[in-house]
Structure 1
Amino acid sequence: MTEAVAQKPAFSLAHLTALSLTPPELVSVAAQAGYDEVSFRLLPATPGGPAYSLMTDAAMLKDTLARMADTSVRVFDLEIIRLGERFDARDYLHFFETGAKLGARAVLVGCDDSDPVRRAQAFAALCELSAPFGLTANIEFMPWTAVKRLRDAVALVEEAGTPSNAGVLVDALHFARSDSTLDEVRALPRKWLHYAQMCDAPGGTPSTDAELIHTARCERLLPGEGGIDLVALWNALPRDLPVSIEIPNDQRAPLLGPLGWATQALEAARRVIDARA
């Protein structure tokens, strides 16, 4: 295998890109579009938000595993665990067990707890309990959360005692809108990087959290359509780092359908990877 081939990343279809699809449907669409992996949203990002509980739906879990076997599409990450004031990692043991059944390798973690000591303790406990299931715990910095910038995520991992399965998740949108720098990306320890999320968005940073959240959840652009320098960002990341394509767009995606949107997203993401120095 040549070095160029060895450094091509795997591509994962993030559930948020096609959240109307159930997990088995997402696997089938990912396979048809040419993805290697998928992510599943098993817990809602917000109270009452959409999610698919494979922890309790045995029939859906069986169907999902069958379609994975038929297509060779793997599960990369599971969403979303949030660190809040009353967080107890033991509440997520069934989540971890289901992740192990699916062969998942990563968990996406958000943080809403403004207390740095408490959230570090919570993250450390989460890492400890998820590790035996073969899962990494990846803190995603988002400018409207308690962990707003890349340096905040780094501080959280360090304050948690740098657990062996801890990770920092770089999402292109949040990177571009959070006063984070490419030098900070380059400085990240390789062992903390398990995957990154790709999308694009208009240039500039909205002035309110509501606008930031709206773009993130409803109006992302395909790579190359907006103002984020994705090539520069991916030049700063490891060349073989798996790429999760997370591009929800409430207006455009329904016009193309899940397969059409997922296919266009993958094609655009590959162009970014091919344009790296």
Structure 2
Amino acid sequence: MNWTALIATAALALSGAAMAQNTDHPGDKTMVVGSDFGVAPWMVRGASGPEGFGVDMITDIAKRVGRPGVEIVDINFSGLFAALFSKRIEFTVNPLNITAERAERMLYTEPFFATGNGFLVRAADEMKGFEDLKGKQLAVNRGTISDTWATANSEKYGFEVQRYDTFPDSVQAVITRRAFTALNEIPTAVFAAAHNKAIKVGFKDFNGRNFGYAFRLEDTAYRNTVEEAIECMKLDGTLARMYEKWYGSAPDQTSTINAVFVGYGAPGFKGYEFKPHVPGCK
């Protein structure tokens, strides 16, 4: 066996991977990421630009990985993955559920935010469980995990699905009585109800779902770099403080917002790497 040739080939491959990472994630340039701005308090458009939990989080990450700044591109959820795969953005920073189907097409970071189904109804209405959906209209943000859940369960529980391009549009459908309930992530639903007396959270379905950032399949090295920054934010309490700032209460101590996982990626999903490490926190 020609070991010299083999080593040279391996070195060339590593060099090519490094060059690709430098091209797609240039350390001396602003980090460009994507999110839907219509999900409060994760990310909304403020007077001077986007603001919210997700903005604070990615701004802190950009500093920790040495990027000079961050640009967050406002993209409706239905167009988010196309923007990722076309390299319009470097990775996603919206509240994105980790699923096995999505993990076939993209790399996830480890989980950092626990969630579930939150059902918003008008203040005068009641929803005690799934049985109250029978014969009703359920509004969702098109293309989200809420849309997936609604599609899979509409026949089982006997409701019809209305799809909207933004979360506020789905809430408006409830307020104007076009829909009985709007479905979104529990933290998002709780925040929306706290800021609008016309609606309330009728029912919470805690089901073990988690959010993670998503990268292109070839971006393993950069995914790992960003994940270590997230791990450092967990270890020094930064993520928990951000959560309390934007959601109004401390996260549960068993939440993944406080849990550092062994290896890189989401355990149990494709793209996970069992590589025990100590994050290089600064």
TM-score scaled by length of structure 1: 0.27
Higher relative contact order (CA 8 A, sep 6+): 2
Whichever of the two has the greater Rg, that structure is 2
Structure richer in strand, relative to its length: 2
Q: Which structure is higher in helix share?
A: 1
TM-score by length of 2: 0.27
